[in-house]
């Protein structure tokens, strides 16, 4: 269970996210050895990670291992593991293997993951991942086109990947409710995050409160805004939240795509203002780039 309350999300922190480096990491393809054996008897094992956000919370939630807490040094974050035996080391290695197959994201959320990159290893020169292909096939880009069985098949396969993630990264069990990232238009014929949130809610046994996080009017594409400030201004004019349903709840925000993270973190800020305790994020696909289109 989560016992540490999330730090407040502010507009200033969202504006500063773009300056965080690195912004994301898939450990099994992007990091060197993380777990270090003591150099000599009497010293402690150490764990080194590329950033503290998301990683430290998931580590503390999933590993029953005593540690000194994460500190920054030499370009990464490290902690020492206290009085560990082989079973503890096995536990840490299992955690590394589990979270390492997903994309951990550095932002203002309590936990923030994507299932995979849009392109293999997050490299723009590589081919699409399976997740990237499914998300493309599950999006309805033109409302004049009927929703096809092919689209539903892709969306349903994404749902299965989401459920696999939630079963493996069990620190997400602390979520009380799930909400979909509200769509750019309230009258969309088919919205992938809403579809996935509804299916996950039923399978996972968590209430879907997406109706309490609403788009009030059509907004321009957030990704087309040239600055973080521009993105926030678009969002501020188009989203409202019921303020009487999220008190002391841990809320999972689900989205299909994560680029800069401004949208998800803005909604998380509103949820906090409405009384949410911790806000977790899960996206299907993480783009190769982390920033806004242009500064």
Position 11 in a domain: no
Say if residue 111 is in the same domain as residue 87.
no
Do both 58 and 192 map to the same domain? no
| Pair 94, 107 in one domain | no
* Residue with token string 């620190």: 171
Q: What is the pLDDT of residues 97-107, one digit of tens each?
A: 999 999 999 99
194/235 same-domain check: yes
Q: Is residue 294 part of a domain?
A: no
What stretch of H or E contains 90? helix 86-99
Mean pLDDT of 140-160: 92
Q: Pick the range with the lowest mean pLDDT from 75-79, 179-183, 198-202.
A: 75-79
Query: Exposure of 198 by Cβ count < 10 A (0-12 exposed, 13-18 middle, 19+ buried)?
Result: middle
Domain count, the chain: 2
In a domain, 292, yes or no: no
Specify if 124 maps to a domain.
yes
Mean pLDDT confidence for 56-82: 93
Helix, strand, coil percent values for the chain (each to nearest 5):
40, 20, 40
Instruction: Judge if 159 and 232 occupy the same domain.
Output: yes
Residue 285 dihedral angles phi and psi, to the nearest 5°: -125, 135
Q: Hey, what are 202's tokens?
A: 């039923």
Of 61, 79, 99, which marks where a domain is finished?
99
Would you say residue 16 lies in a domain?
no
CA distance 42 to 97: 27
User: Would residue 293 count as lying in a domain?
Assistant: no
Helix axes 130-138, 149-168, angle to 10 degrees: 130
Report the SS3 class of residue 213. strand
pLDDT of 3 reads 41
Write out the residue range of the structural domain in which residue 236 sits: 103-286
Residues 157 and 91 in one domain: no
Q: What CATH number does residue 185 fall under? A: 3.40.50
Do residues 271 and 163 share a domain?
Answer: yes
Domain boundary among 69, 99, 129: 99
**Which residue is associated with the tokens 């919205």?**
191
pLDDT of 295: 34
Are 70 and 174 found together in one domain?
Answer: no
> In DSSP terms, which residues pair with 80 in a beta bridge?
46
Q: What is the pLDDT of residue 266?
A: 97
Are 157 and 88 found together in one domain?
Answer: no
Q: Are 250 and 121 part of one and the same domain?
A: yes
pLDDT-based confidence at residue 280 (cuts at 50, 70, 90): very high
Query: Do 91 and 118 belong to one domain?
Result: no
User: In this structure, which long-range contacts are made by residues 237-243, counting pairs with CB atoms below 8 Å and at least 24 apart in sequence?
Assistant: 239/182, 239/213, 239/214, 239/215, 239/266, 239/267, 239/270, 240/214, 240/216, 241/212, 241/213, 241/214, 241/267, 241/270, 241/271, 241/273, 241/274, 242/212, 242/213, 242/274, 243/273, 243/274, 243/275
Q: In the structure encoding, which two tokens stand for residue 102, read together?
A: 């997903």
Q: What is the pLDDT of residues 97-143, one digit of tens each?
A: 999 999 999 999 999 999 999 999 999 999 999 999 999 999 988 87
- pLDDT class of 291 with cuts at 50, 70, 90: low
* DSSP conformation letters of 213-229: EEE-S----GGG-SSHH
Say if pTM beats, i.e. exceeds, 0.75.
yes
Please check whether residues 213 and 119 belong to one and the same domain.
yes
Which of 58, 76, 99 marks a domain boundary? 99
């Amino acid at each position: 269970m989560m016992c540490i309350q999330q730090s407040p999300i502010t507009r200033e922190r969202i504006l500063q996210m773009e300056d965080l480096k690195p912004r994301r990491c898939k450990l099994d393809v992007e990091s060197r050895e993380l777990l270090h054996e003591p150099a000599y008897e009497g010293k402690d094992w150490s764990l080194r990670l590329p950033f503290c956000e998301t990683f430290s919370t998931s580590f503390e939630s999933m590993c029953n291992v005593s540690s000194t807490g994460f500190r920054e040094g030499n370009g990464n974050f490290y902690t020492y593991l206290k009085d560990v035996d082989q079973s503890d080391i096995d536990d840490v290695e299992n955690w590394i293997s589990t979270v390492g197959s997903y994309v951990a994201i550095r932002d203002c959320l309590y936990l923030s993951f994507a299932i995979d990159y849009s392109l293999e290893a997050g490299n723009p020169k590589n081919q699409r991942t399976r997740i990237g292909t499914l998300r493309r096939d599950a999006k309805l880009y033109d409302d004049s086109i009927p929703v096809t069985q092919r689209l539903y098949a892709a969306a349903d396969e994404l749902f299965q990947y989401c459920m696999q993630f939630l079963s493996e990264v069990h620190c997400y069990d602390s979520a009380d409710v799930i909400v979909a990232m509200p769509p750019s238009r309230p009258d969309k014929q088919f919205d992938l995050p809403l579809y996935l949130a509804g299916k996950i809610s039923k399978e996972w046994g968590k209430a879907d409160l997406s109706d309490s996080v609403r788009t009030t009017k059509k907004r321009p594409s957030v990704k087309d805004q040239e600055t973080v400030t521009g993105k926030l201004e678009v969002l501020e004019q188009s989203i409202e939240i019921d303020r009487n349903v999220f008190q002391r709840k841990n809320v999972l925000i689900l989205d299909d795509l994560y680029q800069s993270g401004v949208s998800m973190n803005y909604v998380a800020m509103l949820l906090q203002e409405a009384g949410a305790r911790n806000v977790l994020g899960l996206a299907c696909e993480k783009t190769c780039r982390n920033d806004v289109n242009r500064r």
